[in-house]
Structures are given as C-alpha cells and as structure tokens.
Amino acid sequence: MNEASRPEEITEAVVVASFGACSDARTRELMQALTKHLHGFVTEVRLARDEWQRAIAILAETGGITDEHRQEFVLWSDALGVSMLVDALAIERPTGTTESTVVGPFWAAGSPIRRFGNSIGEHSGGDPAWVFGRVTNESREPIAGAESDVWQNGVNRLYAVQDPDVPEAHLRGLFHSTRDGEYAFLGIRPTPYPIPADGPVGRMLAATGRHPWRPAHIHVAVHAAGCESVATHIFDADSAYLDSDAVFAVKPSLVKQFVPRTLEDPDRPSGVSGSWYSVQMDFVLARQPDRAE
C-alpha cells in the first residue's frame, strides 16, 4: 500500500505507481499525463479546500444541466479553447483544402434531407441568404453526392434545438451535391449570438470579464465517400465579434462576404419576395489516404 503523504509523493504514487502497469500504452500515456498536469495545476495554484469543493460543485452542475438539448461540457471545451486546440493538432490537411472549425453544442442528428436550392427555414424571420458553391476534391474535381449538413441560428439568436417555439427541423437540412459538385440552399443571413450564459460556463465568462458572443456564421459539415469529412463555418465578413469569438473558432479562409441582391435580380431564388443576400463557399475535401483508389 502506498503511504505517500508529502505533495510530491502523492503525485508520484498516482502518476507513476498507480498507472505504470497499465497494459494499454495509450491509456497509460493519457492517464499519466492527465494526472501529472492536474496535480501540477493544483500544486501551482495551491488549490484551497473550498476552491476544490467549488470545482466539484461546478462539474456536478455541468453534468446536471447537460441533456440532449444543452451540452455544457462541449461549451466548456469551446470556451476554454480546447476544441480548437484539438482541431489544430489533428492531422494536417493538404494546403488549399477547406479548414475545419468547432462543431459546437448545437448540432443535432436527423436533419431532413432537402433538395438542391430548397429553403431550410420552417418558420418566418430573417433576411434570405442564398448559399451556394461547389464541393471538389483537392485536385478540384467535382464530387457528386457529397452531403452537406447545415444548421444555423434564427434571428432570435437561438438554434432550433434551443427553441421550443419552432419546428425541430427549422434552419437545418441535409443537401447532396449535383453531378457537377454543386450545392445550394436558401438560409438566412446569420446573426451573432451569445453562447448560453445561464450556466457555469456563463458565470466563468462573467467572472473573468469575457463576453459570450460569437460572430455570425452558418455551420456546414461536408461528407463524401473517400474523403476526409470537414466540419466548418461560413462566417459573415461584416459581423461583429470576428476578432473576439468566445470560442476562438474564426479562421480567415472561412470569412465570406454576404452580397446584397435586389428584388429585380434575375437570379432571385423562388420563394424570395424582397431583397436578399448571396454568399459563395466552395468546399475542397482532402482524400482519405487509406481509402484512396
């Protein structure tokens, strides 16, 4: 039995002795590094007992508030920059392929399959935005049948998963690219929104003088056979908060201009009866090395 009592002895007993015999090398590496850094943090700040109790209470509250509609753990990961760090450390994609960014806590499975050019709106509100482009591989060859999973928040700042007053499928949809790799859908010009601030993450932001706002964006996750999937955003170039995103997710290549268009514009999409916007975003997918033909 270990009889460690001094701080460095406790750390040694946990990090080296307790996990040293773990037969799975990766599990051993993860648990040893996790406990080493956790003990290092506690030691560095000389964590007081009441602070430790508060931390446990915050974790318990995070679990309690999390359900299928509210993902407070993802919010912690996003707000502390861990999501973007994991993304940055992932296998590097070839130059020129579409950059990824956070998935965030508002993605939901089961979006409806919609046809080329259809609207994702199932409820009124918002300025129409025609979102279009082409899905290609890194050789710029079009990919037919690539799936674009899109979701965005409404003018009331809420995603459908947060808003009991709109249909579940509001501002969400699955689109499949044409033979020429083209996709298009009618969304709305996105609006900035604060990440949920009524839980422990929100209190952390307030206590540290950080704002909860995200710049306006549309989420798109693109999947195609034989290619690496990419989960990304289309950011509105005119949005506030592009330089201070609460979750650190802005990448310059993802910032696009929403072009104002008029009622008289011959390209006006069907169902649009006033002024509208258009934005082009092409997706370039990297080949999946082990499945390349």
Residues at the site binding Fe ion, with contacts judged by CB under 5 A: 104
Antiparallel, parallel or unpaired: β 182-188 and 128-137: antiparallel
Closest CA to 120 of 134, 131, 104, 133: 131
CB of 127 to Fe ion, least distance (A): 18
Q: Quote the tokens at residue 9.
A: 């002895």
Nearer to Fe ion, 104 or 181 (CB): 104
CB of 106 to Fe ion, least distance (A): 6
- Give dist(CA 136, CA 284) in Å, integer: 5
Nearer to Fe ion, 104 or 154 (CB): 104
Those residues whose C-beta lies under 8 Å from the C-beta of residue 207, and which sit 6 or more positions away, are none
CB of 159 to Fe ion, least distance (A): 7
CB of 250 to Fe ion, least distance (A): 12
CB of 103 to Fe ion, least distance (A): 9
Nearer to Fe ion, 78 or 137 (CB): 78
- Give dist(CA 128, CA 110) in Å, integer: 24
CB of 95 to Fe ion, least distance (A): 26
User: Is-contact 69 159, C-beta < 8 A?
Assistant: no
Beta bridge partners, 151, equal 172, 219
Nearer to Fe ion, 19 or 72 (CB): 72
CB of 217 to Fe ion, least distance (A): 6
Largest CA distance in the chain: 81
Nearer to Fe ion, 137 or 232 (CB): 232
Name residue 78's amino acid.
D
Nearer to Fe ion, 14 or 279 (CB): 279
Nearer to Fe ion, 114 or 217 (CB): 217
Q: Helix (H, G, I), strand (E, B), or coil: what is residue 249?
A: coil
Name residue 197's amino acid.
A
Closest CA to 250 of 269, 236, 264: 236
Residue number closest to Fe ion, CB atom: 104
What is the phi/psi pair of residue 6, to 5°?
-80, 150
DSSP code of residue 161: G
